[in-house]
């Protein structure tokens, strides 16, 4: 038995070739023949496995039984057959079989297989700092949570005097689509570098019926210097010497390079950097992100900008935060804008939410429901722990309500009359695409036939495979998953399987794409993409939830290919604990899983996955010297909203550290979603079983010699 035990603990590398596996330690652990295993290990197909093909020296020696430096099929078959025979050999003395312990041991191997398949195995050619220095989104402005800086709110009808001595008010531009306020300076170095960009964008904005107003917030700057700059650059837009800081205070400006896009209804659409070309300590040849123009284009289509607020590198302004008017909150001026910014993206006609919140009647009908979910912080969906005051928010997609938005919304909901206010103060309505939000796809992959969704009860996960017909590898820069019956789709996990490779368990070893309500699309930054191999098979794991009426769904996925070979490849790894055993009736059962990090990882996002007994989830980083840091804390996990938590900046997880996940499960009767509080719950695919997976999205640099066609 000793020999076989030693063999099993060293067999992971060769088992990577298995055509399928089972994740549960008590289930059938392995499938496939010795021939299939050997064929996968024999990479060049010459009938022999060399040390180059199986670089694990200890493992190679166990299979190379005659010690001649190569492994033949007969040698591999002999060792594998010995292993499988040992699984069924009776244990000595009592006639029982050794199957149980061996199954558990093989289950451990399977878990290691999953980890090896999804985890980076070798150190990158460049150190982390050099790797990250290449990443374009790290250069320049960083996203800010829009609600924290007034995006979506109505801007006061501020009055100001321009360089020509004329007095204006913001409302004068109500006849145009929008007005952009651009702060500038003749002395701030960053502002001076941005001045030619503002001169160029002036005409571009005018072609879109957007006015530009230049604002200089420094009373100390000389009038002749301002006049010279205006003349040299050919500015024709109004120029404000904001000596009393009236405009800066009304907008809450922070730096001398910040721009503000305000629509005809005086709604703040975007605030932040003009683009990402310049900063305090750097210059780029050209911008990679055009934040203001992207916001203008989104506004003109009736959509919200993908990036609605950033910081703006420049010279800081010492201006107090704008004070909000002490007038009662009204629906048209305040509440409608809060809902547009935070809720209407889902709660609109034909949206994924069950009712609309884009008019006064609908909001009034749902007032108590809105109050309950806002007070309980279950809506908008965002389960990460609040950021302590004074600490930077690491999340790029924080959907939680800002303190001001929550206070104003609850004040209106709790008022006796819920005043509608003046209809003229209402924001412009949002418009929603009936097709793909990512743009025109290069390829649409659809299920071969629809799934029938019953009217009531629960349904097991549905699995579907779609074979692609691509004749060459592609790099995918954007994807969008669109059910044909969104109301019944809880979540979707997509994996890609290379042609001829064994099919893997869907969702247990990372994912290629994913869908949850409100998070159905992903657009990677320029230079980043996921590989779609030629002739690949795409697998879909779909969780359907009946909604009272029988229907059908034939889900589609749209793909947009990168226009040039990427510099970074996106991946998803998984920290998994398959050995779950959650006792009956236990309200706070804790499980832990961890993974040593074999190489530096550039992490961009986290996703936690449990089922209906999941209560809380935490990611921690344990450094090589034993120090612990919380990366993501989800104190109130919600199975209905399995969100992706996207970092503003990639985080380097260094080699030699450990990623640890901790999950809390509620298997008590107090958990109303619990299918059976009297059951010991273990790992399983279905909702009445449990899972514990911490997904980690990360990127790796692309070797220059291995670029793939993007035509």
Q: The domain spanning residue 48 has which CATH number?
A: 1.10.238
Distance CA 188, CA 412 (A): 43
295 shares a domain with 155? yes
Residue 24 pLDDT grade (very low, low, confident, very high; cuts 50, 70, 90): very low
Q: Count H helices, E strands: the chain?
A: 15, 28
Enclosing H/E stretch for 639: none
Q: Residue 190's closest CA among 117, 105, 80, 281?
A: 281
CB 625 within 8 A of CB 475: no
- Phi, psi of 244, deg, nearest 5: -90, 5
Distance CA 69, CA 271 (A): 66
Long-range contacts of 683-686 (CB under 8 A, 24+ apart): 683/23, 683/24, 683/578, 683/579, 683/580, 684/24, 685/460, 685/461, 686/460, 686/461
pLDDT at residue 263, rounded to an integer: 97
At residue 317, does pLDDT exceed 50? yes
pLDDT at residue 706, rounded to an integer: 45
Question: Within a 10 A sphere around the Cβ of 596, how many other Cβ atoms?
Answer: 13
Q: Residue 547's closest CA among 488, 498, 629?
A: 488
Residue 609 lies in a domain: yes
| pLDDT mean over 37-50 | 75
Residue 518 pLDDT grade (very low, low, confident, very high; cuts 50, 70, 90): low
605 shares a domain with 551? no
At residue 302, does pLDDT exceed 80? yes
Residue 254 lies in a domain: yes
Tokens 């418009």 belong to which residue? Answer: 431
Q: Which of 100, 118, 136 is where one domain is finished? A: 118
- Report the residue count for the chain: 711
Residue 501 lies in a domain: yes
pLDDT at residue 435, rounded to an integer: 82
Cis peptide before 378 (omega within 30 of 0): no
Residue 118 pLDDT grade (very low, low, confident, very high; cuts 50, 70, 90): low
At residue 214, does pLDDT exceed 70? yes
Q: What is the pLDDT of residues 407-418, one digit of tens each?
A: 999 999 999 899
Domain at 538, CATH number: 2.60.120.230
Domain at 265, CATH number: 3.40.30.10
256 shares a domain with 176? yes
At residue 669, does pLDDT exceed 60? yes
Number of domains in the chain: 5
CB 167 within 8 A of CB 422: no
Distance CA 565, CA 143 (A): 26
343 shares a domain with 264? no
Residue 179 lies in a domain: yes
At residue 55, does pLDDT exceed 90? no
648 shares a domain with 562? no
204 shares a domain with 238? yes
356 shares a domain with 335? yes
At residue 597, does pLDDT exceed 80? yes
At residue 494, does pLDDT exceed 60? yes
pLDDT, greater one: 389 or 441 = 441
Q: Which of 69, 96, 118 is where one domain is finished? A: 118
548 shares a domain with 534? yes
Q: Vertex 68, ends 66 and 73: CA angle to 5°?
A: 65
| pLDDT mean over 109-136 | 50
CB 15 within 8 A of CB 9: no
CB 644 within 8 A of CB 669: no
| pLDDT mean over 613-617 | 96
393 shares a domain with 286? no
How far separated are the first and last CA of the chain, in Å rounded?
56
Distance CA 491, CA 542 (A): 6
| pLDDT mean over 356-366 | 93
pLDDT at residue 30, rounded to an integer: 31
199 shares a domain with 64? no
Q: Residue 611's closest CA among 644, 638, 588?
A: 638
596 shares a domain with 547? no
pLDDT at residue 660, rounded to an integer: 97
User: Which letter, b or e, does each residue of 399-421 get, where b requires 16 or more Cβ atoms within 10 Å of its Cβ?
Assistant: bbbbeebbebbbebbeeeebbbb
Three-state SS for 583-615 is CCCCCCEEEEEEEECCCCEEEEEEEEECCCCEE
Q: What is the pLDDT of residues 520-529, one digit of tens each?
A: 899 998 899 9
At residue 687, does pLDDT exceed 90? no
Distance CA 566, CA 702 (A): 7
The half-sphere exposure of 487 on its side-chain side, counting CA atoms within 13 A, is 18
How confident is the prediction for the chain on average, in pLDDT? Answer: 83
Q: Which of 566, 588, 615 is where one domain is finished? A: 566
pLDDT, greater one: 502 or 651 = 651
| pLDDT mean over 145-153 | 94
Tell me which range, 104-118, 388-402, 497-511, is most confidently predicted by mean pLDDT: 388-402
Question: Within a 10 A sphere around the Cβ of 87, how many other Cβ atoms?
Answer: 18
Distance CA 191, CA 181 (A): 14
* Helices 99-118 & 73-88 angle (0-180, nearest 10): 130
| pLDDT mean over 577-601 | 94
Residue 135 lies in a domain: no
pLDDT at residue 710, rounded to an integer: 43
Residue 186 lies in a domain: yes
Q: Residue 685's closest CA among 506, 525, 552?
A: 506
Residue 142 lies in a domain: no
Paired tokens of 464: 């579907």
551 shares a domain with 534? yes
- C-alpha distances (whole Å) from 329 to each of 249, 338, 342, 347, 678 are 21, 11, 17, 22, 50
Residue 430 lies in a domain: no
Question: Residue 188: which residues within 8 A CB-CB, separation 6 or more?
Answer: 256, 257, 314, 315
At residue 705, does pLDDT exceed 90? no
Question: Within a 10 A sphere around the Cβ of 522, how many other Cβ atoms?
Answer: 21
Question: Within a 10 A sphere around the Cβ of 3, how many other Cβ atoms?
Answer: 11
Question: Residue 542: which residues within 8 A CB-CB, separation 6 or more?
Answer: 451, 461, 462, 463, 464, 489, 491, 492, 553, 555
pLDDT at residue 351, rounded to an integer: 79
Strand partners, 508: 510
Residue 94 pLDDT grade (very low, low, confident, very high; cuts 50, 70, 90): very low
At residue 468, does pLDDT exceed 70? yes
Question: Within a 10 A sphere around the Cβ of 457, how many other Cβ atoms?
Answer: 7
pLDDT at residue 625, rounded to an integer: 92
- Domain of residue 543 covers 443-566
Least confident of 49-58, 435-444, 572-581: 49-58
């Amino acid at each position: 038995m000793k020999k076989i035990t030693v063999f099993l603990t060293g067999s992971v590398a060769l088992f990577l070739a298995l055509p399928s596996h089972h994740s549960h330690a008590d289930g059938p652990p392995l499938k496939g023949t010795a021939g299939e295993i050997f064929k996968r290990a024999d990479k060049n197909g010459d009938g022999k496995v060399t040390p180059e093909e199986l670089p694990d020296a200890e493992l190679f020696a166990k299979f190379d039984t005659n010690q001649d430096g190569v492994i033949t099929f007969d040698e591999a078959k002999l060792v594998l057959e010995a292993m499988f025979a040992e699984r069924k050999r009776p244990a000595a003395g009592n006639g029982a079989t050794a199957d149980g312990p061996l199954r558990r041991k093989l289950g451990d191997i399977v878990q290691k297989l999953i980890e090896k398949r999804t985890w980076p195995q070798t150190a990158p050619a460049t150190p982390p700092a050099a790797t990250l220095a290449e990443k374009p989104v790290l250069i320049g402005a960083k996203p800010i949570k829009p609600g924290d800086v007034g995006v979506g709110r109505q801007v006061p009808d501020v009055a100001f005097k321009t360089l020509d001595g004329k007095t204006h008010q913001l409302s004068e531009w109500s006849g145009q689509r929008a007005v952009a306020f651009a702060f500038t300076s003749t002395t701030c170095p960053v502002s001076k570098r941005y001045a030619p960009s503002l001169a160029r964008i002036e005409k571009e904005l005018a072609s879109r019926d957007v006015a530009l107003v230049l604002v200089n917030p420094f009373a100390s700057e000389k009038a002749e210097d301002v006049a010279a700059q205006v003349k040299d650059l050919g500015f024709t837009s109004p120029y404000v010497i904001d000596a009393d800081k009236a405009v800066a205070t009304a907008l809450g400006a922070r730096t001398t390079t910040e721009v503000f896009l305000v629509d005809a209804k005086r709604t703040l659409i975007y605030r932040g950097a003009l683009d990402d070309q310049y900063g305090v300590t750097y210059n780029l040849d050209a911008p990679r992100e055009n934040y203001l123009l992207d916001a203008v284009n989104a506004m003109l289509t009736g959509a919200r900008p993908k990036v609605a607020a950033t910081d703006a590198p420049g010279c800081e302004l010492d201006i107090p935060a704008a004070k909000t008017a002490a007038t009662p909150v009204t629906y048209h001026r305040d509440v409608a804008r809060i809902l547009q910014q935070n809720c209407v993206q889902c709660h609109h006609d034909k949206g994924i939410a069950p009712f609309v919140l884009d008019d006064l009647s609908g909001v009034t009908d749902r007032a108590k429901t809105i109050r309950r979910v806002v007070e309980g912080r279950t809506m908008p969906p965002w389960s990460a722990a609040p950021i302590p005051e004074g600490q930077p928010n690491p999340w790029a997609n924080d959907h939680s309500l800002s303190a001001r938005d929550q206070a104003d919304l609850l004040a209106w909901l709790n008022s006796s009359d819920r005043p509608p206010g003046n209809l003229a103060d209402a924001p412009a309505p949002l418009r929603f695409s009936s097709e793909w939000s990512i743009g025109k796809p290069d390829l649409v992959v659809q299920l071969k036939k629809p799934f029938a969704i019953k009217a009531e009860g629960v349904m097991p996960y549905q699995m579907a495979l779609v074979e692609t017909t691509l004749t060459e590898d592609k790099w995918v820069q954007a994807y969008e998953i669109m059910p044909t019956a969104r109301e019944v789709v809880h979540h979707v996990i997509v994996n890609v399987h290379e042609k001829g490779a064994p099919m893997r368990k869907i969702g247990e070893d990372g994912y290629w794409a994913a869908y949850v309500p409100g998070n159905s699309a992903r657009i990677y930054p320029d230079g980043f993409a996921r590989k779609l191999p030629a002739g690949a098979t795409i697998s879909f794991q779909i969780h359907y939830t009946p909604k009272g009426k029988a229907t059908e769904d034939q889900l589609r996925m749209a793909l947009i290919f990168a226009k040039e070979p990427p510099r970074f490849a996106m991946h998803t790894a998984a920290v998994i604990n398959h050995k779950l055993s959650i006792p009956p009736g236990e309200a706070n059962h804790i499980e832990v899983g961890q993974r040593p990090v074999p190489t530096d990882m550039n992490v961009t996002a986290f996703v936690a996955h449990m089922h209906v007994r999941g209560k809380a989830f935490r990611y921690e980083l344990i450094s090589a010297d034993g120090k612990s840091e919380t990366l993501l804390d989800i104190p109130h996990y919600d199975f209905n909203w399995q969100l992706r938590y996207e970092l503003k900046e990639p985080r380097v997880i260094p080699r030699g550290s450990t990623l640890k996940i901790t999950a809390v499960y509620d298997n008590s009767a107090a958990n109303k979603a619990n299918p059976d509080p009297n059951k010991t719950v273990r790992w399983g695919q279905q909702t009445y079983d449990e899972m514990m997976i911490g997904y980690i999205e990360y990127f790796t640099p692309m070797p220059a010699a291995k670029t793939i066609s993007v035509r």
